[in-house]
């Protein structure tokens, strides 16, 4: 079953993320910006159906793509400028009060950007990318000490895109513009999973056995089909979902639902949830 997840500020919502218990869904809404205000986070309770607005404090904006809920459910990660307009801070936003703490930042003097944050399951480490003039670097950042460890470095072209962390925190999947690859969070050489140039989004299936990805349909500019491929390799499998500019895939903790952003006919973005998106397993013949 496919449904809109946010019946509020429709057409202005993007980048969903599930709470650790799967009972709430947060997304970024640009409706406040359109009305002359600041960025707003919308949080929907699946227990009550209520949608509340959370206004981040001391934040000048949040990037369209990167919203992530913390493992303890208390904070929401976002990337954006501070109130002075200085770009590429990584903020931890209190999920109840909206108070924001800058936990990492880019070096603007080097023309650097920070993006694609992923919170490790134990809550002590955040992975993100640093993008400079020549390279994109995959960083492991220790929250308590502020220490950084570089796990991977690649040239700006083809770069690193759509990085996502497995549920067990052991592997990162990313698209380098040419292929989907996996790399261990302890470091080492990445392993190529599948080659594609037109992938729009990737996500881990919660059991860690498959990577979900959205691929632009051949002969179209924006129609994106949902596929999956086993992390051990093999033939990709097309799933029963296709939408315009489907992106920001996030799998629910129960493994049976996904949330994502897609464009509507009027070119505005909506957050959607699909239940029971996985194909039914064929029964074995006796």
In a domain, 259, yes or no: yes
- DSSP code, position 279: P
Q: pTM of the predicted model, to two decimals?
A: 0.91
pLDDT at 169 over 90: yes
Residue 285's pLDDT band, with cuts at 50, 70 and 90, is very low
For 98-124, the pLDDT digits (tens) are 999 999 988 766 778 888 999 999 999
10 Å CB burial of residue 247 (0-12, 13-18, 19+) is buried
- Reported as type and span, the H/E element at residue 42 is strand 40-45
Cβ atoms < 10 Å from Cβ of 285? 4
d(CA 115, CA 78): 9
Is 173 contained in some domain?
yes
At residue 96, the pLDDT reads 96
Residue 282 lies in a domain: no
Q: What would the two tokens of residue 89 be?
A: 């801070």
Q: For residue 280, tell me if it sits in a domain.
A: no
Do 213 and 204 meet the contact criterion of CB atoms below 8 Å apart?
no
Residue 284, pLDDT > 50, answer no
Q: In this structure, is residue 208 part of a structural domain?
A: yes
Mean pLDDT over 160-178 rounds to: 90
Mean pLDDT calculated for residue range 220-232: 94
Do the domain assignments include residue 176?
yes
Tell me whether residue 286 is in a domain. Answer: no
Q: Domain holding 66: CATH number? A: 2.120.10.30
Tokens 């239940």 correspond to what residue?
275
Let me know the angle formed at the C-alpha of 123 by 102 and 261, rounded to the nearest 5 degrees.
75
Query: Is the CB of residue 51 less than 8 Å from the CB of residue 68?
Result: no
Distances 187 to 15, 116, 144, 152, 171 between C-alpha atoms, Å: 28, 18, 20, 7, 9
What single-letter DSSP state applies at residue 235? -
The total number of structural domains in the chain stands at 1
How sure is the predictor about 286, in pLDDT bands with cuts at 50, 70 and 90? very low
Residue 116 belongs to some domain of the structure: yes
In terms of residue numbers, what domain contains 206?
2-275
- pLDDT band for position 265 (50/70/90)? low
């Amino acid at each position: 079953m496919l449904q809109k997840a946010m019946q509020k500020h429709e057409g202005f919502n993007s980048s969903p993320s599930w709470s650790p218990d799967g009972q709430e869904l947060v997304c970024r809404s640009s409706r406040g910006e359109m009305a002359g205000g600041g960025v707003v986070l919308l949080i929907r309770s699946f227990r009550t159906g209520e949608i509340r607005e959370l206004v981040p404090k001391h934040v000048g904006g949040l990037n369209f793509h990167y919203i992530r809920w913390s493992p303890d459910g208390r904070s929401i990660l976002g990337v954006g400028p501070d109130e002075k307009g200085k770009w590429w801070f990584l903020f931890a936003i209190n999920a109840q009060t909206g108070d924001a703490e800058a936990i990492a930042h880019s070096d603007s003097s080097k023309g650097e950007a920070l993006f694609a944050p992923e919170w490790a399951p134990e809550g002590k480490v955040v992975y993100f990318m640093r993008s400079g003039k020549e390279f994109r670097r995959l960083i492991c950042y220790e929250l308590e000490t502020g220490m950084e460890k570089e796990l991977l470095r690649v040239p700006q072209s083809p770069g690193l895109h759509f990085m996502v962390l497995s549920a067990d925190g052991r592997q990162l999947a990313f698209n380098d513009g040419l292929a989907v690859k996996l790399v261990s969070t302890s470091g080492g050489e990445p392993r190529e999973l599948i080659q594609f140039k037109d992938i729009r989004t990737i996500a881990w299936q919660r059991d860690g056995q498959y990577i979900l990805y959205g691929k632009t349909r051949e002969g179209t500019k924006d129609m994106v089909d949902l596929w999956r491929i086993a992390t051990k390799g093999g033939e990709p499998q097309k799933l029963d979902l296709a939408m315009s500019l489907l992106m920001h895939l996030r799998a629910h903790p129960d493994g049976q639902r996904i949330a994502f952003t897609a464009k509507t006919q009027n070119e505005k973005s909506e957050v959607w949830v699909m239940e029971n998106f996985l194909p039914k397993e064929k029964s074995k013949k006796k």
